[in-house]
Amino acid sequence: MKPQTSEQNGSGQNGEGAADAVAVATIPTGEASAATSGTDLTVSKNSQQLKLEMLNMELASNGSGHEKCTFHHDLELDHKPPTREALLPDMARSYRLLLGGLGENPDRQGLIKTPERAAKAMLYFTKGYDQSLEDVLNGAVFDEDHDEMVVVKDIEMFSMCEHHLVPFYGKVSIGYLPCNKILGLSKLARIVEIFSRRLQVQERLTKQIAVAVTQAVQPAGVAVVVEGVHMCMVMRGVQKINSKTVTSTMLGVFRDDPKTREEFLNLVNSK
């Protein structure tokens, strides 16, 4: 004897909806319960898959998905990373493994606390990831009827080579030509700190400083010169202890006007 189907279950439904209703009605009670559970699970999976697809589409429309991540760029985060302190246990474990990989005994007296110390030091060396231009400026942009060149030179700089994770250090000189807005002088040094306290290459560091000053006061032009000593060239590799690397970025009138650029370079190179 064929099981009876419910006309009511199929009423008002067309296509797949009606077919599903009939299919469920013709299954014995125990199997129908299992099928319903399976259907709910499928719906749940489909819902999750839809959310993932929507997220992927959103990331694709924004590029790689990391454009707003301070670990790759300098814009404000949409997604927050763990606090810096929360990273310490995992980082310390990694340093402990590194010590073991070098053939050392991480439990000997001199190394017991080394993994934690090294983790804290690395967080300090890269603290610029936690800083933004807005926080550093703190409103120290002033209206001033001044349109002559402002130069702050020989700002000490310490950074970390992103290729070998060893330091490079040196000095930074910054000049800008105001357009009725000036920046607190100490803020120029703090801008250097934001971008130098990260894993860096000197070429990118130089440009980031110049762009940040431009964003801060919209001057007629910005010039930045960085002179650095790279320990990856001193302690290893070619081991050239007297070599120095000089990079520059010229924006606005400093790029377009040779006389303005020459004036800046003369001021920077003067003793």
Which residues are tagged catalytic? 161-164, 202, 230, 232
* Among the listed residues 39, 10, 31, 8, the one whose alpha carbon sits nearest the alpha carbon of residue 22: 10
User: Cβ-count burial of 197 within 10 angstroms (0-12 exposed, 13-18 middle, 19+ buried)?
Assistant: buried
Pairing verdict, β 221-230 and 245-252: antiparallel
Question: Which helix (H) or strand (E) element contains residue 128?
Answer: none
Q: Which two tokens stand for residue 218?
A: 């919209």
* Among the listed residues 102, 127, 103, 99, the one whose alpha carbon sits nearest the alpha carbon of residue 113: 99
Rounded-to-integer distance, Cα 183 and Cα 166, Å: 32
Q: Which two tokens stand for residue 104?
A: 């050392």
